[in-house]
Chain A
Amino acid sequence: MRTEDLVTMLATGALPVDSGAQARRWTIALAAGAAVATLMMATLLGVRPNLAEDVTVPMFWIKFGFAAWLFLGAFAASSRVGRPGAPFGRLPAALAAPVIAMWVLAAVALANAAPAEREALVLGQTWAECPWRIAAFSAPVFIAALWAMKGLAPTRLRLAGAAAGLLAGAAGAFVYTFHCPELAAPFLGVWYVLGMLIPTAVGALIGPRVLRW
């Protein structure tokens, strides 16, 4: 087929493009992923019984906001990385900001603590499970986000995989806050970040293979 004929074929009967389709795809993906993750959390671990007491502690809301901010940032990054040539602008800074803020809070908390208490602030009671649970709860959103990304046109596949992974990791962390008893900034700055980085790394690893188009 000559190029001229291909052009004619592609243009013939070309229908108006549905501009809302991308937003719908993301909405379906994230709603389904978050619903499954929430169900996993509620049935496998359960919502913490003393959650009602926690909501009066500022650190609970900081933890909540930390995950929510990263989720929104990773969503903005994912939708942009899926559009060829779209600039990232200040997104890298917006993604780094909550992590740096958490590390600053952690440094302050460690500096104010007695040397003997510092280890407990970092390790908490659940350090060994925390990153793996966040990674596990990120799985449904991870699959959903890769599906949504496949409907776009990422030209940097590793970055696209990583963005989808971070989005899933932040969703996993957000869902996990409803179970997790830890409120110390040093703990969150290490184990929450690590938990979110697991799906991010997996995404970067498999991006070039699964997102090719």
Chain B
Amino acid sequence: MSASEDRLKNLLVRGLAGDATAYHGFLKDLSALLRGFLKKRLPRTPDEVEDLVQETLLAIHNQRHTFDASQPLTAWVHAIAKYKLIDSFRRRARSDLLTEPLDDALEVLSTNDADAAEARRDIAKLLDGLPERQRLPIAYMKIEGLSVIETARRTGMSESAVKVAVHRGLKALAAKIRNET
């Protein structure tokens, strides 16, 4: 557990500084840990696990600026994962599914599960539903992998407008996921 805490924190800190490879490694490892954490807590609805893994990953990405490197990563991830899990219970009004205690923060990094099921919700479809001014910058930058400058040139937007559009678009995507259920 502390080994994964240190390793993951290191990857995230580098990722926050702009190292996309380290950040990719962080999200990849994190998705397996989240899957383990959520599978245990949704034993009766395994088909919802992958949706919630994706929703939590997006939430962590969108709120990554709230990570404070002087605090343990585990507490931060656990608080977000628990928040999203409870929020999903509330949305589906099925709080009876809460059979496992949620309060053990250390456990969030204890169960690794690399075996991804199919998500039922298709995030790609929700992305298509975003307004053009957000959808295009995301498609160019995040899917085709173009630079900010190149994206700005293709969309005719300024570089700072591109950055804002990507950020707002991913937040809008999270809101779509939230309102869909």
Main secondary structure of the interface of A (DSSP, over half): loop
CB contact under 8 A between A6 and B58, given known A11-B23, A15-B18: yes
In the assembled complex, how far is the CB of residue A213 from the closest CB belonging to chain B, in whole angstroms? 7
Contact between B147 and A3, CB atoms less than 8 A apart: no
> Which of A78-86, A103-111, A130-138, A190-198 contacts its partner?
A78-86
CB contact under 8 A between A1 and B119, given known A8-B24, A10-B142, A212-B87: yes
Task: Give residues of chain B (71-124) contacting chain A, Cβ–Cβ below 8 Å.
Answer: 71-72, 74-80, 82-83, 87, 105, 116, 118-119, 122-124
Please tell me the number of chain A residues within 8 Å of chain B, measured between CB atoms. 31
A-B CB contact pairs (8 Å), 16 listed: A1-B122, A1-B124, A1-B127, A2-B119, A7-B57, A8-B24, A9-B143, A10-B27, A11-B21, A13-B147, A14-B18, A16-B16, A84-B75, A87-B71, A153-B59, A213-B62
Contact between A14 and B79, CB atoms less than 8 A apart: no
Contact between A17 and B16, CB atoms less than 8 A apart: yes
Contact between A212 and B178, CB atoms less than 8 A apart: yes
In the assembled complex, how far is the CB of residue B169 from the closest CB belonging to chain A, in whole angstroms? 11
Q: Which residues of B pack against A, CB within 8 Å?
A: 15-18, 20-21, 23-24, 27-28, 31, 35, 50, 53-54, 57-59, 61-68, 71-72, 74-80, 82-83, 87, 105, 116, 118-119, 122-124, 127, 141-143, 145-148, 163, 166, 170, 174, 178
Does A126 interact with chain B (Cβ within 8 Å)?
Answer: no
Contact between A153 and B17, CB atoms less than 8 A apart: no
In the assembled complex, how far is the CB of residue A194 from the closest CB belonging to chain B, in whole angstroms? 32
A13 to B19, CA, bound (A): 9
A9 to B141, CA, bound (A): 9
In the assembled complex, how far is the CB of residue B145 from the closest CB belonging to chain A, in whole angstroms? 5
Contact between A83 and B66, CB atoms less than 8 A apart: yes
Does A74 interact with chain B (Cβ within 8 Å)?
Answer: no
Contact between B66 and A84, CB atoms less than 8 A apart: yes
Q: Which residue of A lies closest to B123 (CB)?
A: A1
Does A12 interact with chain B (Cβ within 8 Å)?
Answer: yes
Contact between A6 and B54, CB atoms less than 8 A apart: yes
A135 to B32, CA, bound (A): 48
Does A53 interact with chain B (Cβ within 8 Å)?
Answer: no
Contact between A3 and B53, CB atoms less than 8 A apart: yes
